[in-house]
């Protein structure tokens, strides 16, 4: 499972980098359809088109991130749950204002054929 942990940590970082780079196609390749997200904005279920709209037209953009304290657990051969902390800098789309956040995140990944895909992501604010 150690090799799978490293692979999944790399995929999680790739997903985050795709948000910084506004590389929606890469993000969609890493997502199940549908997928779920739970945040301070509530719970949502979205398909690939819905994710594309959020990523390309949403009110906030991710400028930078730093992931730490990554852990993985494997409830089955084709399921993994990642837990980690993230320090992220966001900006309102098209503006130079910045918002700094410290969050605790989880992502649930499932093996879809030969590839891992994220089916669920949660985030909650924590004190810095």
Here the CATH number for the domain that contains residue 61 is 3.10.450.50
Give kind and range of the element (H or E) at residue 21: none
Domain total in the chain: 1
Q: Round to whole Å and give the CA distance between 97 and 89.
A: 10
Full domain range(s) for residue 115? 2-125
pTM above 0.85, yes or no: yes
CA distances from 117 to 7, 8, 12, 35, 57 (A): 12, 9, 10, 9, 23
| pLDDT averaged per 10 residues, the chain (length 128) | 84 98 97 96 95 93 97 95 98 91 98 94 91
Count of CB atoms situated within 10 Å of the CB of 53: 13
pLDDT score recorded for residue 128: 62
**Are the beta carbons of 103 and 86 closer than 8 angstroms?**
yes
pLDDT score recorded for residue 53: 95
Q: Round to whole Å and give the CA distance between 63 and 95.
A: 11
Alpha carbon 29 to chain centroid, angstroms: 13
């Amino acid at each position: 499972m150690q090799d799978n942990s490293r692979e999944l940590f790399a995929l999680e970082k790739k997903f985050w980098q795709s948000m910084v780079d506004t590389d929606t196609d890469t993000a969609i390749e890493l997502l199940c359809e549908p997928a779920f997200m739970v945040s301070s904005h509530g719970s949502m279920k979205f398909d690939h088109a819905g994710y594309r709209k959020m990523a390309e037209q949403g009110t906030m953009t991710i400028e930078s991130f730093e992931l730490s304290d990554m852990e993985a657990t494997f409830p089955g051969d084709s399921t993994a749950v990642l837990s980690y902390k993230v320090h992220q800098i966001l900006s309102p789309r098209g503006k130079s204002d910045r918002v700094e956040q410290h969050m605790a995140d989880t992502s649930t990944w499932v093996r879809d054929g030969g590839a891992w895909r994220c089916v669920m992501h949660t985030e909650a604010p924590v004190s810095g």
